[in-house]
Chain A
Amino acid sequence: MKHLLKIYSVIFVSIIIMLAYMYFSLEKAEKQFDRNINNLFVVQAQEFTSNLEKNLKLHAKKDVYLTLKKNKSLRDELAEKLTVLTTNTYKYIYILYRDTHGDYRFLADANKPDKGEFGEKLNVDKKVWNKAFRSQQPSLLFQKEFDGLWVSYIVPVVINGKTEAMIGVDFSSEVSVQIKKSTKPINNGFTYIFIAILIMLIILLYQTILNFRIKKDSITDPLTQIFNRNYLRDLLNDLNIAKYQIIMLDIDHFKKVNDSYGHKIGDNILHDISAIIKETIRNKDIFVRFGGEEFLVFIYRNNLDDRVAKGVAERIRKKIKETTFSYEELSINITVSMGVTCTPEHSKNISDAIKHADEMLYIAKKEGRNRVICSDDINKEIENDTSLHFNEIQEAIEHQQVICHYQAIFNTKTKKVDKYEALVRIKKEDKIIYPNDFLPKIMHTNIYNQLTKIVLETVFTKIRDNQASISVNLNFSDILNNEIFGIIIDELEQNKAFSSQLIIELLEHELIDANQTFSDKINQIKGYGVKIAIDDFGTGFASYNIFQTIPIDIIKIDGSLIKNLDHSEISQKIVRSIIALTKELNIETVAEFVYSKEVMKITETLEVDALQGFYLARPQGELLGNQ
């Protein structure tokens, strides 16, 4: 569309240039033709004036004025000669003198209706006539001021080195007039074309102004008179992400303001807060109402080291906090929360940078509102963080850097290893990365599914090689996820012979909705002889209802209860009650987080079936074997 507009513009400008060129060419040709014709007539006029000059000099030896003043018959004779020479082309032929005031007056004129009397003043173009008078050289004057196109040929009569008289011949060529007449329609045509173009340009300008206004209205929020989301949509395509830091601002508890004081007051607050922000930012910054009570400010920066946005955001926050918004008899204090993307250049695109500012805003709200959170602050925390980026996790999977460590679980009575818990790790350049540093990032992604498959394959290999019972951790949502469930069933099918030695530990940190579908899927898994354990039992979301809906084999009592057993009577009582319940239900219990001898002794006293913890064995790459 833009290209088409450019093409039209080029065509339009070309037409105008072409027309202008034609117009000026025509005018030039006309002038040249006119000059040539005039030259022909000037030759004739030269002959007239030459004869007249000779005649004048013959009768007046020195003072022409005095000679003619005294000699009427000479004046009449000259008039007769001038009359004879006068034709339709050579319209006026006359002889003038210059008086003491510098005015030109008649010495002789042809006997025609407008005959100039001796001494009568004639209004002439003094500039040209004086020039001819002083230079004593003939001059040509093109008269254009009045009707009838004509030329004046002026010849000074010089006697004894003094200009005694001036002969004037005014001629008008019909040819020249005819040419003028014949080209007049063309000239008028050009004039009308130029006027039409001018009108078109005026209409175009008017249309452009109108479009500009409509466009401005469409990108302006009527309440705050700042840019709206439509503008942002256009901006996303054109904005140089490196040139701006992004602030996302949200008015704290704005819904409460609307609910308590009404929408009119809410609108006033939006308007006044916008005004405060406008006052605080610079002209080169871009201010957009993102929607509702959310605003975006793009803070311009000269270079990447320029980190002004946080300072601006803090100033805005303080100004708004210190302002009391008064409407009618109401006084309202408002605070705002802001998220700042300080380094948008690290984002893939501007949408990502805005999303990042939104994430920072979310943190600001979560941390108590009325604050500014900058991505720099978060990034500083992340600098010490060993967690992997999404791409690194993908890379680890591709390079088979996903491994499992196994922590032994001991039978309380026999003190022998009963089973193991498989714990997934990523091994990167001799560095072990723990699940907390990569699982949250890939949750609900295809990579997570791939990782689940790798873990199951690894665990089954270990079971097959060591004939040991090993548990793997899965989320409740994994079972409900058809793709992951498919992976589990595939693995069980492929390892049917060893599937009875697999234990699936379902993590209790998720909100459990053990519906019929879930139960069916668990029963299908159990059909392969797999045991089902509930991990971290006692502190999470699981309720007693879970025992009715899921065929549980093992309960792993949460570490937070176990680690407090040596000093918390409440923890002991809870664990005791869990054990009492599980015994009734014939469910095996495992105490996690056995980190000391004291804790181990208590768990034995409480008759927990199996024990797991650093005191007994740390997770390691290989199975511990019976010890």
Chain B
Amino acid sequence: MKKVVLLLLIPFLLLASDMQYELKIYSTLLHNFFPTKQIIKVWSDDAKKDKMLSSLPIVKIVKNTKDADILIVEKDKKLPKKKLIFATNYLIFKYYEKNAIGGFYWKKGRPNILFLRNNLSKNHLKLSSKFNEFIEDGL
């Protein structure tokens, strides 16, 4: 019976949206940033991101930046700079260029991922080799 349900769901799975694509990217990234953590505490200033990320089983959305393992930033420019910052648009990424470890945002309908080498080193983060092509020295 399970097999039959799965077969009926295939067309819907095939039609997965950009949202699913984005979620998959975040899931991969978070696993890479925190490979040993069972639960990753995430803070975000974007309610949509909160909603999307909360669907990941390893993610716990926190209200306070102090409790967070990583801050996913859309617009807030007053964040504690000692925390791991991950940007969701180019301008905020540019603002936190000295602190943000990377950013993921849509530009011209295309997903853009970028990591900053220095900031990764500062935070002692080592990414899987499959992300090498996205690591840059600066924006």
Contacts and interface: CB of A to CB of B under 8 A. Distances in A.
Most A CB atoms within 10 A — which of B21, B108, B112, B136?
B108
B47 interface: no
Interface stretch (B3-11, B31-39, B49-57, B62-70): B3-11
A113 to B, nearest CB: 10
A121 B109 contact: no
A168 B114 CA distance: 21
Contacts of B112: 121-123
Classify chain B's interface size: 20 to 34
A147 B17 contact: yes
29 contacts: A91-B109, A114-B107, A114-B108, A116-B90, A116-B107, A117-B90, A117-B91, A117-B94, A120-B139, A121-B112, A121-B136, A121-B139, A122-B108, A122-B110, A122-B112, A123-B107, A123-B111, A123-B112, A123-B113, A124-B110, A146-B21, A147-B18, A150-B109, A168-B108, A188-B11, A191-B11, A195-B8, A195-B10, A199-B4
Interface of B: 4, 7-8, 10-11, 17-18, 21, 90-91, 94, 106-114, 136, 139
Interface string A521-550: 000000000000000000000000000000
Contacts of B21: 146
Contacts of A188: 11
Contact of B7 (A122, A124, A195): A195
A142 to B, nearest CB: 13
A291 interface: no
Interface residues of A, number: 24
A191 B15 CA distance: 12
Nearest to A202: B3
Contacts of B110: 122-124, 146
A114 B10 contact: no
A290 interface: no
Contacts of A120: 90, 107, 139
A451 to B, nearest CB: 76
Contacts of A621: none
9 closest residue pairs by CB, A with B = A123-B112, A92-B108, A147-B18, A123-B110, A191-B11, A146-B18, A195-B7, A147-B17, A120-B90
A198 interface: yes
A91 B110 CA distance: 13
Contacts of B10: 195
A469 B107 CA distance: 132
A117 B89 CA distance: 12
Interface string A32-54: 00000000000000000000000
